[in-house]
Amino acid sequence: MGRVRGEKNLVWTFQFLVLALAFVFFLGLSRAFSFFPHPLKVLEAAGELFASGEIYPHLLVTLYETLTGLAISIVLGIWIGSVLGVSRTLAEIFEPMILAAYAVPKIIFLPLLLMIFGVGLDSKIANAALHAIFPIIFNTVVGIREVNEIHVKLARSMNATLGQIFRKVYFPSMVLPVFAGMRIGLGFCFLGSLLAELFEAKTGLGYLVADFYNSGEIARMLAVILFVFLLTMSINAGMKTLENRLSRWRAP
Amino acid sequence: MKELIAVRGVRKVFEDVAGTTGGAVEAIRMADFQVGRGEFVSLLGPSGCGKSTLLDIVGGLEKPSSGEVIVGGERVTDPHPKVAMVFQLMSVFPWRTAVQNVEFGLELQKVAEAVRRKKAMEMIQLVGLSGFEEKYPSQLSGGMNQRLAIARALVLDPDILLMDEPFGALDEQTRFLMGLELLRIWEATRQTTLFVTHSITEAIQLSDRVLVMSARPSSIREDIPIPLPRPRTIESLTSDAAVQIERRIWDILKVEAGKGLTPNAR
């Protein structure tokens, strides 16, 4: 226990050092480039954005787009992944195509999404879902294939119904890989909605970055970037904690 | 003795659906045997002889290509509620605690939570796992996990226990001790048991009768009674009588197991 605590302290010390170095680095940048604001100015701008309440509507829009996109990609991704996980034939037909689609930068489809869904929030949701669906599909496939046949056999020997086999064997076996897919998917969702907002929007954190950039308010732009950075990090950390709680039963 | 399990003319052919085995494989040519109520019978045979398949057929998990299995006077078509199965290592659910594992079958039957918890606790005590109720399988040894698998089957109060090499993945000494442990539990409950194994020692240690199977396509080669006194002890299991039975089984198996070693074995 003592060793673990010692290691944790060491990790925290280094993390603090890295943060301090980042501050110094940005200080250097502000000296080197005239357009780059002093890091304290950025923090100050961030404080103002929250104090004035200016950032909240944009934050809400981005969160709405991201979470709706995530919900859609979870439903579709688990459904598609389950079908591919169960059927060897369908997997053989579609897996290469999906893998290829995974490699394509999804942002290339944004103009198409804008034409289909309009310049409002829907196109951002669609872009977010498009970005997130692939890791969810793949992790669902992995989850289904990792279900232990002996567990299914045992449940069958006890006359379990199909529903019971799904709820009590498939679901708990798959919950970890699928959840990991959702965690990765959430990151991609943020990417999708922010990219779309940067490109064509009237609200959202991505729009705010583009807007501040266009009006030359670099300190405020960096403040939003810093906020997005911290937001994604804390959401990811929260998901990771939840994931660890779900995997309590795993060997330590 | 009135028989509880009757296997009549069972044959099993696996059709080559996936096109991987180059034609249909005849796993079991002819299986014909009975197990009396309260009897402990082992199916012993070389690797890949289809003994697990035969057990699955008795358990209603596989359908025979021809022939039939009668359990308690009824023809088996699906898993029978009065039959419980125990499989090889790692059949316990890693995401469930010990007591939750034992409760699994009762949960499927929608037994009230308080009732199933009480029954599961009793069973955990019977298999000697008291104090480990809230542990996860990853925190238990292989032998303890197999006790758990046995408790999970016994809690359903089955008439028949079908065991598919439950101790196969354990080391020899643990396996022997688990055998004695199984017998201790069995003496208390006297469930009719059909036990699949490829270990001659284990078959003699546990059984009233050993059915020796031939290599694939398999049939029952010999029905060998084990007239050693119960409860079985290390003395009785190393007695001259036990050694003679072991030699007799070896005489049959060395031919059958050898078939699996020749290059053109099918």
Q: What is the pLDDT of residues A58-79, one digit of tens each?
A: 999 999 999 999 999 999 999 9
Q: Check if B61 contacts A (Cβ < 8 Å).
A: yes
Q: Check if B14 contacts A (Cβ < 8 Å).
A: no
pLDDT digits over B128-149, tens only? 999 999 999 999 998 899 999 9
Question: Would residue B152 count as lying in a domain?
Answer: no
- Higher-pLDDT residue of B101, A97: B101
CATH number corresponding to A38-246: 1.10.3720.10
- Residue/partner pairs of A159-164 with CB below 8 Å, 24 or more apart: A159/B78, A159/B79, A159/B81, A159/B108, A160/B108, A164/B108
Euclidean distance between CA atoms B173 and B195, whole angstroms: 19
Question: Would residue B202 count as lying in a domain?
Answer: yes
Q: pLDDT at position A7, please?
A: 80
Query: What band does A125 get if pLDDT is binned at 50, 70 and 90?
Result: very high
Question: Which domain, by its residues, includes B199?
Answer: 3-82+158-259
Q: pLDDT at position B153, please?
A: 94
Contact A159 B96 (CB under 8 A): no
Q: pLDDT at position B18, please?
A: 66
Report the residue of A87, A152, A157 to disrupt the B interface, i.e. the one with the largest count of B CBs within 10 Å.
A157
Q: pLDDT at position A45, please?
A: 94
pLDDT in tens, chain B (266 residues): 478 999 999 999 988 776 666 778 889 999 999 999 999 999 998 877 889 999 999 999 999 999 999 998 899 999 998 999 999 868 999 999 999 999 999 999 999 999 999 999 999 999 999 999 999 999 999 889 999 999 999 999 999 999 999 998 888 888 999 999 999 989 888 899 999 998 999 999 999 999 999 888 889 999 999 999 988 988 888 899 999 999 999 998 888 777 766 655 44
Average pLDDT, integer, range A18-23? 90
Q: Domain limits of chain A?
A: 1-36, 38-246
Q: pLDDT at position A46, please?
A: 94
Contact A170, A160 (CB under 8 A): no
Q: What is the 3-state secondary structure (H, E, C) of chain A?
A: CHHHHHHHHHHHHHHHHHHHHHHHHHHHHHHHCCCCCCHHHHHHHHHHHHHCCCHHHHHHHHHHHHHHHHHHHHHHHHHHHHHHHHCHHHHHHHHHHHHHHHHCCHHHHHHHHHHHHCCCHHHHHHHHHHHHHHHHHHHHHHHHHCCCHHHHHHHHHCCCCHHHHHHHHHHHHHHHHHHHHHHHHHHHHHHHHHHHHHHCCCCCHHHHHHHHHHCCCHHHHHHHHHHHHHHHHHHHHHHHHHHHHHCCCCCC
Average pLDDT, integer, range A44-57? 94
Average pLDDT, integer, range A159-186? 92
Q: Is the pTM of this model over 0.90?
A: no
Kindly tell me if the per-residue pLDDT of A157 is higher than 70.
yes
Q: pLDDT at position A85, please?
A: 87
Q: Check if B95 contacts A (Cβ < 8 Å).
A: yes
Q: Check if B81 contacts A (Cβ < 8 Å).
A: yes
- From chain B, pick out residues whose CB is under 8 angstroms from the CB of A172: 93, 95-96
Q: What percent of chain B has pLDDT over 70?
A: 95
CATH number, domain containing residue B162: 3.40.50.300
Contact B84 A154 (CB under 8 A): no
Question: Would residue B144 count as lying in a domain?
Answer: no
Q: How far is A177 from chain B (nearest CA, A)?
A: 14
- From chain B, pick out residues whose CB is under 8 angstroms from the CB of A164: 108
Question: Would residue B7 count as lying in a domain?
Answer: yes
Q: pLDDT at position B266, please?
A: 43
Q: In chain B, how many domains are there?
A: 1
Average pLDDT, integer, range A144-153? 91
Q: Check if A31 contacts B (Cβ < 8 Å).
A: no
Q: Check if B55 contacts A (Cβ < 8 Å).
A: no
Q: pLDDT at position B257, please?
A: 74
Question: Would residue B32 count as lying in a domain?
Answer: yes
Q: Check if B91 contacts A (Cβ < 8 Å).
A: yes
pLDDT digits over A223-246, tens only? 999 999 999 889 889 988 988 888
> CB contacts < 8 Å between A and B, how many?
60
Q: pLDDT at position B265, please?
A: 44
Kindly tell me if the per-residue pLDDT of A1 is higher than 50.
no
Question: Would residue B104 count as lying in a domain?
Answer: no
Q: pLDDT at position B189, please?
A: 84
Q: Check if A157 contacts B (Cβ < 8 Å).
A: yes
Q: Which of residues 166-185 of B touch A (CB under 8 A)?
A: none
Question: Would residue B105 count as lying in a domain?
Answer: no
Interface confidence, given as ipTM, is: 0.89
